[in-house]
Chains A and B, each alone.
Chain A
Amino acid sequence: MEVPRTTPELVAEPVPRAAPAAAHRPWRPQSSGLRWLMLGPALLVILATVIYPLVTSFITSFRDWRLINSPTPGPYVGVSNYTRAFTDAGFLNSLGVSGLYTLISVTLTLLTGLAIALILAKPTPLNVFARTLLIFPFAVAPILKGYSWRFMLNPEYGVYAKMIGEVFPPLKGYVWLGHEFSALVSIAMSEIWGWAPLFALMFIGALGAIPAETTEAAKMDGATSFQIFRRITLPLLAPVIYIVALLKIISAFKMFDQVAIMTGGGPGDSTQTLYYFVYQVAFRNLDLGYASAVSYLLVAIMAVIATFYVRTLMRGD
């Protein structure tokens, strides 16, 4: 089975290259001068564009710095920016919104991706044609995903809103982006549309690696399709599911673009994701100290998810 290169196993333990079994002459040139000459520029850029801002942000998170009051950083205030977050209704709300959004979008994307993969699993000509379409949605700019769903869900002229209204008359004229829960689901829809086909591509790859004899033997023994799916397909897909779930969870916690395009955080603050909240605090309220602290809380959340995930996966092996 083809496992993408970012598998957490790789993170935990980089693959040993060039198995020592081969007794041929080893790789010769090992000029360390050339080595650092070639690595240097890239490392400098990473240092300047990732490490520098990370460190600066961390320091800023312990200071009081409202850009409206002063162009230079204010005094150190200890951890008060962090403690402030946990009494701030806005932050707690965005934490909840991001949590709920992650739950909805990850679950639905996985289910949709799995469904698409199972539908397209058989290599009929029509299915093969459909598979070629699967790479498109992900490549579409997130803001366009936002625009197209906002357009199609408009209660007056949106084509999806109208279709839904035809099938479920009670939903005729429903303002999808105007109600708290459905606004969040609508944002999730734009992401499900973007990601589920990609997941399906990965699942199809994994499904292709399941030997046909396995399922045939199970069928001979009288297993139902559901049993085959539950006992054979799903366990074999599990590693891929873990990987894509991790990617999706992380991307869900970074949801920003579609919120900005579709709802602006509303109605009320019901779609104010963590990312959007930090954006508001930093670039609307210009409260940089507090924004840095909240962004570090986001880093902490991601670190926990990633670690937990790697552990789960390694135990599974």
Chain B
Amino acid sequence: MRRPPEPGVVLRRRLAQTGEVIATLAVIFFVAFPLVWMILAAFKNQIDVYSTRLLFTPILSNFRAIFADPILLGSHVWVSALVSFLTVAITIPLAAAASYVLARHRFRGRDTLFLLILITQFVPAVVVAIPFFTLFRTLNLIDTPWALIIVYLSFTLPYAIWMLRGFFDALPVEIEEASFIDGCNELQTLRHVTLPLVMPGLLVAAVFAFISAWNEFFFALILTRSNSLTLPVAIQTISGPRGPMWEQVAAAGMLVMVPILIMSLFIRKYFVEGITVGAVK
């Protein structure tokens, strides 16, 4: 028979539990508060945004304002979307084909090739930026979406190959071998067996490529002037005489942030792993 614990023990346990809850709440505050505060600011008027009161009357006019003004965000949403989608659309098929071969075929130099692709992830963007800047000047590609798409491939492609190879490696070879025995050739097997099985991987790689293109700032700053600014660069133009117009910056920030947060929720399972592959860029 268990004796009831002594009152002192109970108290100590209660205190410890309370302490744990407070600590967790502190973590939640640390992680979520900057996001919440920015999101709230997007719904504030010019007076409320400069106050730290929690109560205010939410408004939607900031979103109207950033879309109404043509030099603000209206067109840049499209540039951002176009650049990100095309980057993904080019990256994924090329990466899928390459990583399939790297995972399934054996040939001399395969591991070296793979290592070289990994190493490209360590190349700092500034090194790449200087030659592209001069090249695009000569080709008159500065301030076009194409310049950004080409440069973005320099990090999305090696990174997608890396990620997808992992997904191909995780598939048991036997499934494909069974398909060969049934008389399919390699391309048929790839199309009807392997690719459908690796679909989650393609989706995850696509989301990561999208996020990195959508959030990218450095290249967009250098390679665009006015016509093809992406959202992260265009946000800088939202400033008045006293610095950024915070209520509009926050509204634009939500446009940048919300699609990405939703996507990251979808691929939550792969998030950490994916970032450790790609974060070095």
Cross-chain contact B232 with A295 (CB below 8 angstroms)? no
A106 an interface residue at 8 Å Cβ cutoff?
no
B45 an interface residue at 8 Å Cβ cutoff?
no
A245 an interface residue at 8 Å Cβ cutoff?
no
Cross-chain contact B38 with A120 (CB below 8 angstroms)? no
Q: Which residues of A contact B215 (CB under 8 A)?
A: 140-143
Cross-chain contact B218 with A24 (CB below 8 angstroms)? no
Residue of B nearest to A277 (CB): B126
A157 an interface residue at 8 Å Cβ cutoff?
yes
Cross-chain contact A120 with B100 (CB below 8 angstroms)? no
Partner of B130, one of A42, A60, A141: A60
Instruction: Give chain A's interface residue range (CB within 8 Å of chain B).
Output: 35 or more
Partner of A143, one of B23, B27, B186, B217: B217
Residue of A nearest to B118 (CB): A11
Cross-chain contact B127 with A30 (CB below 8 angstroms)? no
Number of A-B pairs, beta carbon distance below 8 Å: 272
Residue of A nearest to B238 (CB): A147
Cross-chain contact A147 with B235 (CB below 8 angstroms)? yes
Cross-chain contact B217 with A257 (CB below 8 angstroms)? yes
B272 an interface residue at 8 Å Cβ cutoff?
yes
Cross-chain contact A243 with B276 (CB below 8 angstroms)? yes
Instruction: Give chain B's interface residue range (CB within 8 Å of chain A).
Output: 35 or more
Cross-chain contact A57 with B162 (CB below 8 angstroms)? no
Cross-chain contact B101 with A35 (CB below 8 angstroms)? yes
B128 an interface residue at 8 Å Cβ cutoff?
yes
Partner of A139, one of B154, B232, B261: B261
Contact with B along A287-317 (1 / 0, CB 8 A): 0100110011011001100100000000000
Residue of A nearest to B165 (CB): A5
Given contacts A27-B176, A57-B131, A295-B130, 12 further A-B pairs with CB under 8 A are: A5-B277, A29-B189, A38-B98, A39-B102, A39-B113, A46-B120, A50-B120, A119-B23, A132-B268, A247-B280, A253-B124, A298-B126
B residues in contact (CB < 8 Å) with A:
20-21, 23-24, 26-28, 30-32, 34-35, 37-38, 41, 49-52, 90, 94-95, 97-98, 100-107, 111, 113-115, 117-118, 120, 122-135, 137, 150-151, 153-154, 157-158, 161-162, 166, 169, 173-174, 176-177, 180, 185-187, 189, 211, 214-215, 217-218, 221-222, 232, 235-236, 244, 246, 249-250, 253, 256-257, 260-261, 263-265, 268, 271-273, 275-277, 279-280
